[in-house]
């Protein structure tokens, strides 16, 4: 029987933070966007995500520690109907897909004074068996956050503009002196006033209240290739939510749901 702790490479007394770090490292290693077409990587991605989803939950972890998988209830790992690839994608996007997108997770941290990318959106696309077998082009209507028309995404009232943040001097970063058992050290993090953006809005837009976005619906075209299954998904790059204050769009993750 596969051991969830062994799958993540952590000890049984590992902290929640250690479990999350271990999962993030393995999920990025086996993520389908890095291993296109590899069924082995997909299976590894699914397995480490299933392990993480159990061990991140204190109640599930406690039952697993006492009784193993059998103590988690019906289905694999206590998941109703089993834990499939679509579930794994949803877990990953829930915990890691909303901060700057997959490119930033794979490529390093974004600069603190750059507008944040919008969160990715997950939608399900029902398909008939024939559509899954032969391929099809579908149109979806998706609710997204788009640029506010009143301020064109700036978040500032008409005739005004964001100004440099005074506490951080526009850098978006602040330094804090902290103490530990080893002495004092300086930590650098996002400015608490401007949240790392380097600018603040003195007079917010009356329509979006400074966010720079408004809810709307848009149509997106989804090209489904032949031979797909419910374990597949399609990423529509830069089709999702606009980021706050004019930040770039996130993605739309289309989870395929073949009706059998």
Mean pLDDT of 218-246: 91
What local confidence, expressed as pLDDT, does residue 69 receive? 85
pLDDT bracket for residue 177 (50, 70, 90): confident
The 10s digit of each residue's pLDDT in 101-130 is 444 444 444 444 567 788 889 999 999 999
Domains of the chain, earliest start first: 1-96 (1.10.287.110), 163-200 (no CATH)
What local confidence, expressed as pLDDT, does residue 58 receive? 92
Alpha-carbon dihedral of residues 211, 104, 48, 44, nearest 10 degrees?
Answer: 130
Task: Report the percent of the chain where pLDDT is more than 70.
Answer: 86
What local confidence, expressed as pLDDT, does residue 144 receive? 96
Averaged pLDDT score across all residues of the chain: 85
What local confidence, expressed as pLDDT, does residue 133 receive? 96
Mean pLDDT of 129-140: 96
What local confidence, expressed as pLDDT, does residue 108 receive? 44
What local confidence, expressed as pLDDT, does residue 32 receive? 77
What local confidence, expressed as pLDDT, does residue 95 receive? 77
Q: Given a cut of 90, is residue 148 above it in pLDDT?
A: yes
What local confidence, expressed as pLDDT, does residue 8 receive? 95
Best CA proximity match to 256, nearest among 123, 125, 85, 121: 125
What local confidence, expressed as pLDDT, does residue 113 receive? 57
117-131, 167-181, 201-215: which range is least confident on average? 167-181
Q: Which residue has the higher pLDDT, 245 or 13?
A: 13
């Amino acid at each position: 029987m596969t051991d969830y702790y062994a799958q993540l490479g952590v000890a049984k007394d590992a902290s929640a933070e250690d479990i999350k770090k271990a999962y993030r490292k393995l999920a990025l290693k086996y993520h389908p966007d890095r291993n296109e077409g590899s069924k082995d990587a997909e299976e590894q991605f699914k397995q480490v995500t299933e392990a993480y989803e159990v061990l991140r939950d204190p109640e599930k972890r406690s039952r697993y520690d006492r009784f193993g998988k059998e103590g988690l209830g019906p289905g694999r790992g206590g998941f109703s109907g089993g834990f499939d690839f679509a579930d794994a994608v949803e877990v990953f996007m829930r915990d890691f897909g909303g901060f700057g997108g997959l490119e930033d997770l794979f490529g390093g941290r974004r600069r603190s004074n750059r507008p944040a990318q919008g969160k990715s959106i997950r939608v399900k696309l029902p398909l008939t068996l024939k559509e899954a077998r032969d391929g099809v082009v579908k149109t979806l209507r998706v609710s997204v956050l788009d640029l506010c028309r009143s301020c064109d995404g700036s978040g500032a009232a008409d005739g005004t503009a964001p100004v440099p943040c005074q506490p951080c001097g526009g850098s978006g970063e602040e330094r804090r002196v902290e103490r530990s058992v080893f002495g004092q050290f300086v930590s650098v993090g996002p400015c608490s006033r401007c949240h790392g953006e380097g600018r603040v809005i003195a007079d917010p837009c009356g329509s979006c209240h400074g966010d720079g976005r408004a809810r709307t619906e848009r149509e997106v075209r989804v090209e489904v290739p032949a031979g797909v299954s419910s374990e597949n998904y399609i990423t529509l790059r830069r089709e999702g939510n606009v980021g706050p204050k004019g930040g770039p769009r996130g993605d739309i993750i289309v989870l395929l749901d073949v009706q059998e």
